[in-house]
Amino acid sequence: MSNWKLVTTLTDIPQLGSRVIKTATMNIAIFRNSEDRIFAMKDECPHKKGPLSQGIVHGTSVTCPLHNWRIDLASGEALGPDQGCTNTFPVKIENGQVFVQL
Amino acid sequence: MKQKLVLIGNGMAGLRTLEELLKINAELYDISVFGSEPHPNYNRIMLSPVLAGEKTIDDIVLNSLDWYQQNNIELITGDSVTKIDRVKRQVQSASGQIRPYDRLLIATGSNPFIIPIPGADKKGVIGFRDIADVDTMLAAAKTSKNAVVIGGGLLGLEAANGLMKNGMQVTVVHLLDSLMERQLDKPAAALLKASLQQRGLNFLMEAQTAAILGEDKVSAVQFADGSELAADLVVMAVGIRPNIALAQQSGIHCERGIMVNDTMQTFDPKVYAVGECVQHRNICYGLVAPLFEQARVCANHLAQFGIARYEGSVTSTKLKVTGIDLFSAGEFHEAEGDETLVLQDPSQGIYKKLVIRDNKIKGAVLYGDTMDGTWYFQLLREGTNIADFRSTILFGQHDLGDAGHGDSKVLSLSDSAEVCGCNGVCKGDIVKAISEKGLFTLDEVRAHTKASSSCGSCTGLVEALLAHTVGDGYDAAPSKKPLCKCTDHSHDDVIHAIQKHPIKDMRSVFQQLNWKTPDGCAACRPALNYYLLAAWPEEYVDDAQSRFINERAHGNIQKDGTYSVVPRMFGGLVKPNELRAIADVCDKYQVPEMKVTGGQRIDLFGVKKEDLPPMWKDLSAAGFVSGHAYGKAMRTVKTCAGDTWCRFGTQNSTGLGVQLEHLTWGSWMPHKFKLAVSGCPRNCAEATIKDFGVVCVDSGYELHVGGNGGIKVRVTDLLCKVETEQEVLEYCGAFTQKYREEAHYLERTAPWVERVGLSTIKQAVVEDEAQRKVLYERFKVSQKVSQIDPWKARAEGGQAHEFTTLNIV
Ligand code: SRM
Ligand SMILES: Cc1cc2nc3c(=O)[nH]c(=O)nc-3n(C[C@H](O)[C@H](O)[C@H](O)COP(=O)(O)OP(=O)(O)OC[C@H]3O[C@@H](n4cnc5c(N)ncnc54)[C@H](O)[C@@H]3O)c2cc1C
Ligand code: SF4
Ligand code: FES
């Protein structure tokens, strides 16, 4: 069952930044780090649902804008002493186009 | 294949180094640890409370056997290394075990010094160093009565107190006429002695021990004058000697200790050493705080980062005898030309002395009331100029406008008292985490409990709890606090490098200053972005991704992910058509709530992110610019009615406020920055709790700086008085620019003024006219680029990706 969706192009996501995808059920944040790796996860912090897309991206993690939890972009797990996890989605880049598997 | 690291000495400094190393690079080495003692690493400091019956051995283990296993560290206990072969690069132990190494770390600690007198080798004569010594003492206390402790220093007194608590008759024998002479001056030592005598300790002062008498077990101590004292147990606590025998045998250069350089490397580049066994810049340390600093530096080099340097430490001491408060730091004996400040209250048993040189604290001795020890120690390490508050300094920090957050309350707080209001952490939680998890540093407490990790106003309390719970093991912040975990450089180092090197973009900061992470973190990136912007206003290109979301989206993010919008109203003045425009915008975009703020303008809450640009467009058309209510930036200028209307007004405070706001709006700052102008000393605009406040008087304008009305209220200091509005603008610009160029990111003017001292600021802004003009000029240059309204720019399409979502079904 391959339901890859074309969502945007790599250059439309700022480096160390994100864009938000609206689906019928939720918002998905799609991040680009300094090495042009792409990650996608539900735009909801495991702490109090802060919009992770609005956080500061560094390395392979993002710091939530509301209370500074750090979330691992690849696994969706909270890092450090905090505990919690948010859903992630598979992503791929082909010819500069970004696909997310929903 | 991984490299091999061998650690000799399973003690506090060695293991701390391993912990620091694992934190930065857990993959580099296969690690083996040799320890003479049969235990995993424990908190040696806490042997005193164990002896006194206040703690058990289990309580004080720092790294359990599980910890070694989880981190794949081979631990060989009860086995001393007897030989280091530096040619073959391997070590050999007493039991014959051999381990090769690529890097060797020596952390063998020190040995108690046993005075070489006849009989010193008899049974019942011991030092006070390890668990075995404590076991010997506890066993002796069960079967016999008389104990003699030789040495009236820190260790001796803690041993004596513990033995007494176990029911022994204890006499402390001291060579000099004053106890703890290396930490205390005579008046404090006398208070200490009186208090210990009252608890039942006996003292024999100015007595020189000549021999230990007895068959094979001790029975008495004999002194130089021939007198004797009966003893079943003798504890020698006259000092420690770095344990260097093994290193010396292996041909590693030693003097009193193993010689190391600022990277903790010995003369053999493969061999590092940390802890009490080393001699660094001619000093051998005997307290853990400096050893932990060494450990951090050493780990950095073992991990091959190669940037940290250990430059020596100033230490402070506390005595761990429950009920006795004593603190000592630095040079407490005044030298020629020093001044001393003394507060003495004999009936309360309080004595405080500060040694001052050139208006800086050089040393401190506190007895009876040590609450401000942490503060004095910080002033000492940071070399703060105390001229501005020396007349009240002995009364403590709370005298400096601290609204009740001082640590003086920490002991009297109950366990259920909330210490960290932001994260709802109680005193009991913090104390429990510190003792159960073996925490030593503020950062560790923050990571484990979240206390003090948000607004930071409780930091002082948490530090005080740390200091009281772990005693001197508390790893007080080094005088050069790193900017964040990504670097060892302090804020000042970074600001200096950016301005002087010069460095003009973020990637170059990372490279030239050896950042440890590929692209910093949420703490350092905003700081660096600000420092670069402040230093190179015309060249640096602002990095949106390094700004906290509020500044990136130019609105305050709300708990539900919407934003608030606060248009600027210069000086709080507003016209009917402007109010109408705001009302129309609220209708058009269905703003759920409007509120008049504390900053004399109107806040529109709950705006959807995608509505921001069109809304700004409408506001812009009506003449509004951003109020920067979201930024580390100039916020508002609060004004009062002034002489236009008010019967008491002396000057046009409203008009001056509008001018000030036109001068300063748009300016990025280390932290938020607020101004106010009051038309007379009734001060209706609350100018004396603002970062820059003006109070108009008949003859001109009083300028006030460094006020804060937030978490910790601080009243301003008077900067000076000027006569014209033009001067107000110039002084304001110069003060603002000095703050912009020198303060640390997230440091408001209030703590900044306290840190650098009002006199430094006066010198630059008031006394030195040329410098004032230069600062003012630089501020205006920076304002040329800052006063481009960010809202208008985005309404016209700037940063569009920030505000549009990608819709898919
Ligand atoms: C809107 C306003 C409350 C109001 O409705 O009156 C407000 C709202 C917030 N304040 Fe404030 N402060 C407001 C006036 C004040 C004042 C009063 C003043 O300026 O006269 C103070 C005390 C004076 C002072 O700063 O010295 C004040 C002291 C703080 C502090 C503590 C600052 C400190 O240095 O201790 C914070 C926390 C911080 O900055 O880290 C804070 C933080 C906040 C934040 C930004 C919290 C946040 O980070 O999200 C609030 C945003 C609410 C939102 O979602 O929009 N707010 N805040 C006021 C906006 C003024 C404006 O027009 O720009
Ligand atoms: C009773 C007491 C109270 C103290 N109170 C305080 C206080 O309040 N505040 C403070 O800051 N400091 C205090 N200290 C000092 C503090 O404990 C030491 O500074 C610290 O433990 C030194 O750490 P280290 O790693 O250098 O040495 P240690 O912790 O002594 O570790 C060295 C280890 O190496 C082992 N070793 C030695 N040679 C070999 C070898 N050849 N092979 C294998 N293993 C070897 C030793 O057995 C020992 O276990 C106190 C010390 C004592 C004894
Ligand atoms: S507006 Fe200010 S005082 Fe009110 S809840 Fe927010 S931060 Fe606290
Ligand atoms: S909602 Fe993300 S840290 Fe609180």
Instruction: Select from A41, A48, A61 the residue to mutate for testing ligand 4; criterion: most ligand atoms less than 8 Å from CB.
Output: A48
Q: What lines the ligand 1 site, CB under 6 Å?
A: B 556, 558, 564, 566, 595, 597-599, 601, 603, 627, 629, 635-636, 672, 674, 708-711, 748
Are B107 and B13 a contacting pair, CB within 8 Å? yes
B279 and B342 assigned to the same domain:
no
CA B524 remoteness from chain centre: 17
Helix and strand numbers (H, E) in chain B are 25, 37
* Spatial CB neighbours of B54, under 8 Å, sequence gap ≥ 6: B322
Return left, alpha or beta for B80; rule: phi > 0 is left, psi -120 to 50 is alpha, else beta: beta
Contact A54 B561 (CB under 8 A): yes
Type of residue found at B61? V
Query: Tens of pLDDT along B742-791?
Result: 999 999 999 999 888 898 999 999 999 999 999 999 999 999 999 999 99
**Which residue from B522, B549, B801 is facing A12, i.e. has the nearest CB?**
B801
Relative to beta strand B692-697, strand B700-705 is antiparallel
User: Strands (DSSP E) along B535-641, which ranges?
Assistant: 556-557, 563-565, 593-596, 602-607, 634-639
- Taking the CA of B450 as reference, the closest ligand is 4
User: Is B314 inside any structural domain?
Assistant: no
CA-closest candidate to residue B669, choices B526, B496, B553: B526
Tokens describing residue B279? 């001699």
Global pTM reads 0.62
- Distance between CA atoms of residues B11 and A55, nearest Å: 41
The answer on B742 and B638 residing in a single domain is: yes
3-state secondary structure of B469: helix
Contacts of A12 in chain B (CB under 8 A): 801
The closest CB to that of A65, out of B521, B557, B809, belongs to B557
Same domain, B102 and B247: yes
For ligand 2, is residue B293 a contact (CB within 6 Å)? no
User: In angstroms, rounded to a whole number, what is the distance separating the alpha carbons of residues B335 and B325?
Assistant: 26
Expressed in angstroms and rounded, the spacing between residue B463 Cα and the centre of ligand 2 is 24
What does the alpha-carbon distance between residue B683 and residue B116 come to, in Å, rounded to a whole number? 74
User: What was the pLDDT predicted at B399?
Assistant: 46
pLDDT band at A1 (very low <50, low <70, confident <90, very high): low
Order of strands, sheet of B271-273, starting from the edge strand that comes earlier in the sequence: B73-76, B29-34, B3-8, B103-106, B271-273
Residues B174-204, buried b or exposed e (16+ Cβ, 10 A)?
beeebbbbebbbebbbbbbbebbeeeebebb
Give the separation between CA B795 and CA B617, rounded to whole angstroms: 5
Chain A residues within 8 A of B559 when measuring between CB atoms: 48, 66
Residue found by looking up tokens 């011991």 in the block: B126
- Nearest ligand to the C-alpha atom of residue B595: 1
The phi and psi torsions of B152 (rounded to 5 degrees) equal -105, 40
B 427-456 residues with CB below 8 A of A? Answer: 447-448, 453-454
Main-chain phi, psi angles of B427, to 5 degrees? -55, -45
Question: Alpha helices of chain A — where are they, by DSSP H?
Answer: none
- Which domain CATH number covers B77? 3.50.50.60
Helix B459-470 vs helix B427-437: angle between axes, to the nearest 10 degrees? Answer: 40
Domain ranges of chain A: 4-101
ipTM of the complex model: 0.72
Rounded to the nearest angstrom, the distance between the alpha carbon of B248 and the centre of ligand 4 is 55
Domain count, chain B: 7
CA dist B619 and B566 (Å) reads 10
Who's near B362: CB < 8 A, 6+ residues apart?
B330, B331, B338, B355, B356, B380
pLDDT score at B806: 87
Residues with CB under 6 A from ligand 4: A 45, 47-50, 64, 66-69
Residue that terminates a domain, selected from B252, B271, B302: B302
Edge-to-edge strand order for the sheet containing B228-230? B209-214, B218-223, B228-230
In a shared domain, residues B648 and B775: yes
Binary contact (B805, A48; C-beta < 8 A): no
pLDDT, one tens digit per residue, over B37-92 is 999 999 898 899 899 988 899 888 889 999 999 999 999 999 999 999 999 999 99
* Token code pair at residue B688: 């004396």
The whole-number average pLDDT for the span A37-53 is 94
For residue B392, the model assigns a pLDDT of: 87
Sign of the C-alpha dihedral computed for residues B19, B21, B25 and B31 taken in this order: negative
- Which residues are B84's β-sheet partners? B91
Please give the CATH number for the structural domain made up of A4-101. 2.102.10.10
Asked whether residue B792 is domain-assigned, the answer is no
| Partners of residue A66 in chain B, C-beta under 8 Å | 557, 559
Contacts of B74 (CB under 8 A, 6+ apart): B30, B31, B32, B33, B68
B606, B591 Cβ separation under 8 angstroms: yes
Min Cα–Cα distance to chain A from B410, Å:
26
Instruction: Encode burial over B580-610: b for 16+ CB neighbours within 10 A, e otherwise.
Output: ebbeebbeebebeeeeeeebbbbbbbbbebe
Shared-domain flag, residues B739 and B777: yes
CA distance B17 to B24: 11
* Position B796 in a domain: no
- Collect the ranges in chain B with pLDDT lower than 50: 399-408, 477
Residues of A in contact with B550 (CB under 8 A): 65
Q: Which of B425, B427, B402, B399 shows the shortest CA–CA distance to B413? A: B427
Q: Judge whether B374 lies within some domain.
A: yes
Whether B234 and B273 share a structural domain: no
- Whole-angstrom Cα distance, residue B451 to residue B459? 8
* Nearest protein Cα to ligand 4, atom 3: A67
Residues 552-611 of B with CB under 8 A from A: 552-553, 557, 559, 561
The answer to whether residues B722 and B587 belong to one domain is no
Residue of chain A minimizing CA distance to B423: A67
| Neighboring chain A residues of B808 at a CB cutoff of 8 Å | 5, 7, 21-23
Residues of A with CB under 8 A from a CB of B: 5, 7-8, 12-17, 19-24, 27, 30, 33-35, 48, 50-51, 54-59, 63, 65-68, 70, 80-81
pLDDT at B288: 86
For ligand 1, atom 32, the nearest C-alpha belongs to B710
| CB contact set of B415 (below 8 Å; sequence gap of 6+) | B426, B427, B428, B431
What is the number of the ligand closest to the CA of B598? 1
Cβ separation B521–A63 shorter than 8 A: yes
- Which is nearest to B760 in space by CA: B722, B717, B712? B717
**Cis-peptide, bond into residue B502, ω within 30° of zero:** yes
Q: State the closest ligand 1 atom to the C-alpha of B674, by its place in the atom list counted from 1.
A: 19
Name, in order, each residue with C-beta under 8 angstroms of B20's C-beta and a sequence gap of 6 or more.
B295, B296, B298, B299, B300
Q: How far B358 CA sits from the closest chain A CA (Å)?
A: 42
Residues B84 and B147 in one domain: no
Look at residue B680 and give its three-state secondary structure: coil
Cα–Cα distance list, B371 to B325, B353, B380, B623, B751 (Å): 9, 13, 15, 54, 20
Geometric angle at alpha carbon B751, from B745 and B757, rounded to 5°: 110
Contact: A19, B801; criterion CB under 8 Å: yes
Binary contact (A16, B548; C-beta < 8 A): no
CATH number, domain of B770, equals: 3.30.413.10
Phi, psi of B188 (to 5 degrees): -70, -40
| DSSP β-ladder status, A17-22 and A38-42 | unpaired
**Of the residues A41, A43, A47, A86, which should be mutated to test ligand 4's pocket, given the most ligand atoms within 8 Å of the CB?**
A47
Q: Alpha-carbon distance B696 to B187, whole Å?
A: 51
CA of B287 to the centre of ligand 4 (A): 39
The answer to whether position B809 is within a domain reads: no
**Ramachandran class of A69: left when φ > 0, alpha when ψ lies in -120 to 50, beta otherwise:** beta
Q: What is the pLDDT of residue B798?
A: 87
One domain, residues B720 and B774: yes
- Nearest-CA distance from A20 to chain B in Å? 5
* Segment holding B749, helix H or strand E: helix B749-756
Q: Rounded to whole angstroms, what are the CA distances from B668 to B530, B626, B629, B638, B737?
A: 8, 13, 12, 19, 10
| Adjacent-strand bridge partners of B363 | B330, B355
**A47 interaction partners in chain B (CB closer than 8 Å):** none
Which residue segment(s) compose the domain that B593 sits in? 550-626
The two tokens of residue B367 are: 């007895």
Residues of A in contact with B557 (CB under 8 A): 51, 54, 65-66
Does residue B215 share a domain with residue B74?
no
Q: Please tell me which residue of chain A has the smallest CA distance to B446.
A: A81
